[in-house]
Amino acid sequence: MVKVRSIRTRLDTVKTIDDALEQINKAQKILVITGAGISTSLGIPDFRSSKGFYSQVQHLGLSDPQEVFDLEIFLTDPSLFYSIAHMILPPEKIFSPLHSFIQVIQSKGKLLRNYTQNIDNLESYAGISPEKLIQCHGSFATATCVTCKYHVKGEEIFEDIKNREIPYCPKCAKMRKKLMKNDEDSFVPDSYGVLKPDITFFGEPLPETFHDLIRRDLSECDLLISVGTSLKVAPVADIVDKIPEHVPQILINKDPIDHCNFDVSLLGYCDDVASYLASRLGKSWDIPHKDFDSIRGSA
C-alpha cells in the first residue's frame, strides 16, 4: 500500500501522487538518490531499521555500531569487520523491482544520475550504466590490499567473508609470514597484507567522481527522487538541501523522513511503490523484473 504524505510542501503545485506522476512524466533529468532500503527485499539488512544491521551487531558491545566501518579500527583489528561482513555480503546477480524502476528511468533517457549509498553493486546487475551511477560509498565489486594496494575482484574475497575469515593479499603473503615469524620483537600490524573491500569507511574520502559531478548535476536536474535512505549520512544527505528550490523532490520510503522537506512522500515498501507508479505511468514503464521469486521479504 502506498501512503501519500505532503506536510511541508515546498512547491504549491506538487502535493499529490498525481502531481508526482506528472513530474516523473515531464522530467528529463532525474537525480535519484538511493540507500539500503532498496535492497532489503533481497534479504540484505539496512542499517537503521529495527531489524537492521546496527541492531544485529549489538552483541559486539561497541559504543557506536558505526565503529564496524571505522578505518582506524579496521587497520588496528580487521577481525571486527570480518566477523560481521558476511551479514552485508551482496547476493549475486539479483536485483529488486526498485532497481528495475531506475533502469526504466534510464532507458527512457530521463536518468541524470543515480547517487547510490549502497555498497552491494546490484545496480550494475540491473543494467544501470556506469556513467549514470555514482557509488558514493564504494562497493564490494573490488578489494584492495591495505599494505601494497594490490587490487582484486571483490568476488575473490567472498568465500573468506562467508567463512568469517580475514582475506589476505597474495602478493604480501610471503612477507607477512616472514615478518610474523622472524621479527617477533618488531611490531607487525594485524592489518598487514589484509584485503579490504573498496567500500568507503568512516575516515575515508568519497570517490572523486562524486565531487566531480555533484555540483553540475545539482544545477541540471529537474526532479529529485530519494528512495530507501534515512538521509543521515553526509554528504549524500546534504544533496537534498542543495537542490534548487524550483526542483520538485519526491520521497519513496518505508518510514517518513521528517528532517527533510520533500514535496511528496510516498510511504511504503519501495518495490510496491515503484510497481504502483509504473502501472500508473503506462505500459512502456513496465518493470522488466524477472526475479520476483528470489525476493525474500522486506525489513
Asked whether residue 172 is marked as a ligand-binding residue, the answer is: yes
- How many residues sit in the footprint of ligand CNA (CB under 6 A)? 31
Sole residue written with cell 547476493: 91
CB-nearer residue toward ligand CNA: 58 or 182 = 58
Rounded distance between C-alpha atoms, residue 20 and residue 187, angstroms: 59
Is the Cβ–Cβ distance between 30 and 110 less than 8 Å?
A: yes
Rule CB under 6 A: is residue 24 a binding residue for ligand CNA? no
How near is the Cβ of 183 to ligand CNA at its closest, in Å?
37
Rounded distance between C-alpha atoms, residue 127 and residue 100, angstroms: 8
Residue 259 falls in the annotated catalytic set = no
CB-nearer residue toward ligand CNA: 106 or 118 = 118
Rule CB under 6 A: is residue 53 a binding residue for ligand CNA? yes
Rule CB under 6 A: is residue 32 a binding residue for ligand CNA? no
Rounded distance between C-alpha atoms, residue 254 and residue 122, angstroms: 20
Asked whether residue 169 is marked as a ligand-binding residue, the answer is: yes
Rule CB under 6 A: is residue 44 a binding residue for ligand CNA? yes
Rounded distance between C-alpha atoms, residue 167 and residue 157, angstroms: 6
CA quadruple 138, 140, 145, 146: dihedral, nearest 10: 50
Question: How many Cβ atoms from other residues are within 10 Å of residue 22's Cβ?
Answer: 14
Subset of 135-154 contacting ligand CNA (CB under 6 A): 137
Rule CB under 6 A: is residue 106 a binding residue for ligand CNA? no
Catalytic residue among 59, 137, 151, 246: 137
Is the Cβ–Cβ distance between 260 and 218 less than 8 Å?
A: no
Asked whether residue 145 is marked as a ligand-binding residue, the answer is: yes
Subset of 216-255 contacting ligand CNA (CB under 6 A): 228-230, 232-233, 253-255
Rule CB under 6 A: is residue 117 a binding residue for ligand CNA? yes
Beta-bridge partners for 144: 151, 196
Asked whether residue 270 is marked as a ligand-binding residue, the answer is: no
Is the Cβ–Cβ distance between 41 and 96 less than 8 Å?
A: yes
Rounded distance between C-alpha atoms, residue 259 and residue 245, angstroms: 17
CB-nearer residue toward ligand CNA: 232 or 290 = 232
Rounded distance between C-alpha atoms, residue 120 and residue 118, angstroms: 6
User: What residue numbers does the annotated binding site for Zn(2+) cover?
Assistant: 145, 148, 169, 172
Catalytic residue ranges: 137
Binding stretches for ligand CNA (CB under 6 A): 35-37, 39-41, 44, 46-49, 52-53, 88, 117-120, 137, 228-230, 232-233, 253-255, 269-270, 298-299
